[in-house]
A and B are shown apart, each in its own frame.
Chain A
Amino acid sequence: MFIGAIGCEPLQLARVHLDKSASLDVYRANGGYEALKKVLSGMSPDDVINEVKKSALRGRGGAGFPTGMKWSFVPKDSPKPKYVVCNADESEPGTFKDRYLMERDPHMLIEGMLIAAYALGAKVNYIYTRGEYRYLIDIMDVALAEARAAGLLGEKILDSNFSAEIYTHTGAGAYICGEETALLSSLEGMRGHPRMKPPFPAVSGLYASPTVVNNVETLTAVPDIIKMGGEAYQKLGTEKSGGTKLWSVSGHVKRPGVYELPMGYDDMEKFIMEDCGGMLNGKKLKAVIPGGSSVYIMRADQIIGKDVRMDYEGLVAGGSSVGSGGFIVMDESVDIFESTKNLTEFYKHESCGWCTPCREGTDWLVKVFKRVANGGGRLEDVQLLLDLCDNIEGKSFCPLGDAAAWPIQSAIKRFPEDFKKHLVGTNGKQQLIDV
């Protein structure tokens, strides 16, 4: 599996190839904890937040919310303790970047979290890792112990008067716990149900205290931002989305893997056909889900010769979005009806059951997909699917409902023939839907 940078100097992936890259020594030998030093020697929390603002760093967890702004929402004067929580629940189908960041370069995450903790005045901080990633938790624990031993964690870090602790926490198998408020419920030992917003975590999060939840990749970007300065970092990418972004590439390409690209990398076609080694066994490209299962699926002809720019704006223009950067490539052998069924089953399995439309809607959708797959398709089923999606979208308690609807809506719109062929009506005629 490939792991490296294309079209830019590796930042996040700068050390992943080194031997013992997870160890403190290797990390320090390669500029590790320099940023922390810089911060602790003379930068004020506000300076840090401003640098992050200038960097135009946007959340890598999926929502793409400007990180600096998120940090500035935390009330400075609040008497309550503040928390930085790292979202390492990475469960979005097609996404596996955080995994390699933590496996190969855990100290980068620790340094990022410490800088965030300093900027926000957080003493206790947690890394919420999905339960299946147990071996990553072990790696993180080792790294944390190293850091503690080296005076990089705990009381009076690097002999400054800044003290902070970081603990690992394990999930137990629930995609919804990636949603930041559900994650906090889970971290408090509750069922992983999302919470009402407002209040937003920045005001009332973990234990009803100001909390910032950030994705792994977001936090690991922070040290470089501090080192090279916000502007420089932003310039690596575009004006609105600064820096570099990791893409987890899977499916029918010769070289799947984790790719670090500058934001605004000019052409998705080139990315697939050259950087990723092109299509597996010379088959034809059929579809791409560029941002993890929760985004619109794209047709080959929306990519080939279309110069789709790979950043937030570019992908929206191209008919999808960045999401978590889970880049799933499918060749002509894939039946989009089947792939959509597969994802719908995922969302049904992961719906937390809190709200009506998602709980009942995904259950119903799956039942329809199964019936159709078993040859029980009816002429009106496509309309039914679309209508059910419409009834879920925008009405669910948290975005998981929407996430379940979008793949289906886009798949039916963009691959009608794959649905048509399953929908031989009772009269033996093919269902004709206009899209």
Chain B
Amino acid sequence: MSQQLTNIQPRSQPVDIGDEVASFSPEVEAEIEDHLSKYPVKRSAILPLMFIVQRERGYLDPPGVAYLANRLGLRITDIWEVATFYSMLHTKPVGKYHIQICKTLSCKIMGEPGITEHVCSRLGIRPGETTADGKFTVSLVECLGSCGTAPMFQIGFDYHENLTTGKVDQILDSLK
């Protein structure tokens, strides 16, 4: 499969990856169309589309990448170079709940270490790891713009601020 994927085709031809190309519901397709319509150049929609593929398929898996290449008329390599540049894009699976703890200065001095410690010991994993059941991934990330409400973490796209260990427990319980 990945072998087919690495076949780099001339631009003038869609990437041929046989049945390994992802497909999406009409609603999602419409959403994608909407994004494409914003730009004079298709390629500009690459980030929005990647987020959609990620939302639908968990991460940028090969069929998803193949879909992007076809949809945007790019080479697989073009997708790869972009996907690996941005820290929010995943070319490997991540947990259902991606807990991203801000570790930058303001959060650091306002108690991030304690929060990280607590989250990790509760889930029994270290930062950068995913729980065995694939439910939680914990990452330490750079400033998320909540310095005034530190410490904080983001789960998926949701901000959780002014964290205390008690609050963390509530949040994690609600996700169980």
Contact = CB atoms under 8 A, between A and B. Distances in A.
Q: Do chains A and B touch in the complex (CB under 8 A)?
A: yes
A149 interface: no
A172 B143 contact: no
A169 B48 contact: yes
B21 interface: no
Contact of B45 (A91, A186, A189, A256): A189
Interface string A343-374: 10010011010000000000000000000000
Given A172-B51, A339-B109, A342-B108, A250 B40 contact: no
B150 interface: yes
A328 B143 contact: no
Contacts of A350: 142
A92 B45 CA distance: 25
Nearest to B161: A1
A131 B100 CA distance: 13
Contact of B147 (A96, A134, A192, A207): A96
Interface stretch (B4-12, B22-30, B86-94): B86-94
Interface in B38-79: 38-48, 50-51, 72
B142 A175 contact: yes
B114 interface: no
A131 B44 contact: no
A390 interface: no
A1 B148 contact: yes
Given A131-B47, A135-B159, A191 B85 contact: yes
B40 A207 contact: yes
**Range, interface on chain A:** 35 or more
A252 interface: yes
B133 interface: no
Interface string B92-136: 000000000001111011100000000000000000000000000
Contact of A189 (B44, B88, B144, B158): B44
Nearest to B150: A250
Contacts, number: 140
A263 interface: no
Contacts of B103: 342
Nearest to A100: B148
A131 B51 contact: yes
A352 B85 CA distance: 8
B155 to A, nearest CB: 12
Interface string A181-202: 0000011111110000000000
Given A93-B104, A342-B104, A186 B38 contact: no
A175 B85 CA distance: 11
B110 A251 contact: yes
Given A132-B145, A189-B46, A173 B88 contact: yes
Interface in B121-176: 142-150, 154, 157-159
Nearest to A91: B143
Contacts of A249: 148
A369 to B, nearest CB: 14
Contacts of B105: 93-94, 251, 289, 293, 328, 339, 342-343, 346
B148 A174 contact: no
Listed residue (A135, A249, A251) with the most chain B CB atoms within 10 angstroms of its CB: A251
Interface in A287-342: 289, 293, 326, 328, 330, 333-334, 339, 342
Nearest to B46: A189
A257 to B, nearest CB: 5
Contact of B109 (A126, A207, A330): A330
Given A167-B38, A328-B106, A334-B109, A189 B147 contact: no
Given A173-B86, A293-B105, A186 B146 contact: no
Give the 3 A-B residue pairs with the shortest CB-CB distance, closest first.
Answer: A250-B147, A189-B43, A173-B88
Given A189-B46, A328-B106, 17 more contacts: A94-B147, A96-B145, A131-B47, A132-B144, A135-B158, A167-B39, A169-B44, A173-B87, A189-B45, A189-B72, A190-B82, A191-B81, A192-B85, A250-B147, A251-B105, A251-B147, A342-B105
Interface of A: 1, 90-96, 99, 124, 126, 130-135, 167, 169-175, 186-192, 207, 248-252, 256-258, 289, 293, 326, 328, 330, 333-334, 339, 342-343, 346, 349-350, 352
Interface of B: 38-48, 50-51, 72, 81-82, 85-89, 103-106, 108-110, 142-150, 154, 157-159
